């Protein structure tokens, strides 16, 4: 596979600063309460790790949810399959879904509906990126890192063909 040109869109320093700000917001809102962070695999794992460290509480539990959307490389049909499920119940818990990017909103709508059937105290969403130009379903993002244009981005957990997740910045693949 030949190397593709990647142009930096959001620097590692800007990401780190924004993650600290999000961590402070979440710390304030959930003070004194147990919080379950649910990372959506695979893209959110770096963001989730940094965000978890930025939340100043000992009452944080981490879970993972793997999902797969059917569709071609550029769009989702909205049909979602859970490929990896939570390992512990979330009933009565405050849940914060941690996602790398929300674009159409179809997958996130499915995830939030699914999690609500498990009787949590609350379900909120934290997304590193949002692409409103591709939105098909209105999705409320409680904690948002950055809004971006309709660009194909990689890095900081986001991939193209399972590559580029390890980049410390968000870049445009071109």
Assess whether 103 carries a catalytic annotation.
Answer: yes
**48 with 36: CB under 8 angstroms?**
no
18 SS3 class: helix
pLDDT of residue 74: 47
Name 102's bridge partners. 130
- Mean pLDDT of the chain, nearest integer: 92
Pick the CATH number of 6-25+34-173 from 2.60.40.350, 3.40.50.2020, 3.40.309.10, 3.90.1520.10: 3.40.50.2020
Percent of the chain at pLDDT > 90 equals 81
Residue 117: C-alpha distances to residues 11, 91, 134, 158 (Å): 38, 9, 27, 28
Per mean pLDDT, which range of 76-90, 104-118, 144-158 is the poorest? 76-90
pLDDT of residue 108: 93
pLDDT digit string (tens) for 23-76? 999 999 999 999 999 999 999 999 999 999 999 987 899 999 998 875 545 455
Percent of the chain at pLDDT > 70 equals 93
User: Of 103, 142, 149, 159, which one is the catalytic site residue?
Assistant: 103
Q: What predicted TM-score, i.e. pTM, was given to this entire model?
A: 0.92
pLDDT digit string (tens) for 123-132? 999 999 999 9
- The sheet carrying 6-10 orders its strands as 6-10, 170-173, 153-154
**101 with 43: CB under 8 angstroms?**
yes
**39 with 64: CB under 8 angstroms?**
yes
pLDDT of residue 2: 59
pLDDT of residue 173: 87
pLDDT of residue 127: 98
Show the tokens assigned to 123.
């379900």
Show the tokens assigned to 23.
């961590």
Name 82's bridge partners. 67
Residue with tokens 């320093």: 13
**Where exactly are the structural domains of the chain?**
6-25+34-173
């Amino acid at each position: 596979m030949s190397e593709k040109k990647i142009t930096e869109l959001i620097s590692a320093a800007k990401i780190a600063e924004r993650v600290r700000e999000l961590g402070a917001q979440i710390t304030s809102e959930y003070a004194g309460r147990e919080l379950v962070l649910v990372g959506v695999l695979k893209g959110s794992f770096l963001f989730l790790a940094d965000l978890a460290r930025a939340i100043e509480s000992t009452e944080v539990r981490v879970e993972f949810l793997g999902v797969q959307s059917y569709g071609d490389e550029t769009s989702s049909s909205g049909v979602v399959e859970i490929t990896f499920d939570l390992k512990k119940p979330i009933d009565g818990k405050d849940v914060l879904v941690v996602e790398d990017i929300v674009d159409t909103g179809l997958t996130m709508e499915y995830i939030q509906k699914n999690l609500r059937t498990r009787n949590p105290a609350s379900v909120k969403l934290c997304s590193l990126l949002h692409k409103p130009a591709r939105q098909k379903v209105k999705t409320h993002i409680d904690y948002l890192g950055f809004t971006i244009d309709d660009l194909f981005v990689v890095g900081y957990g986001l991939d193209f063909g399972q590559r580029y997740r390890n980049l410390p910045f968000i870049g445009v693949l071109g």
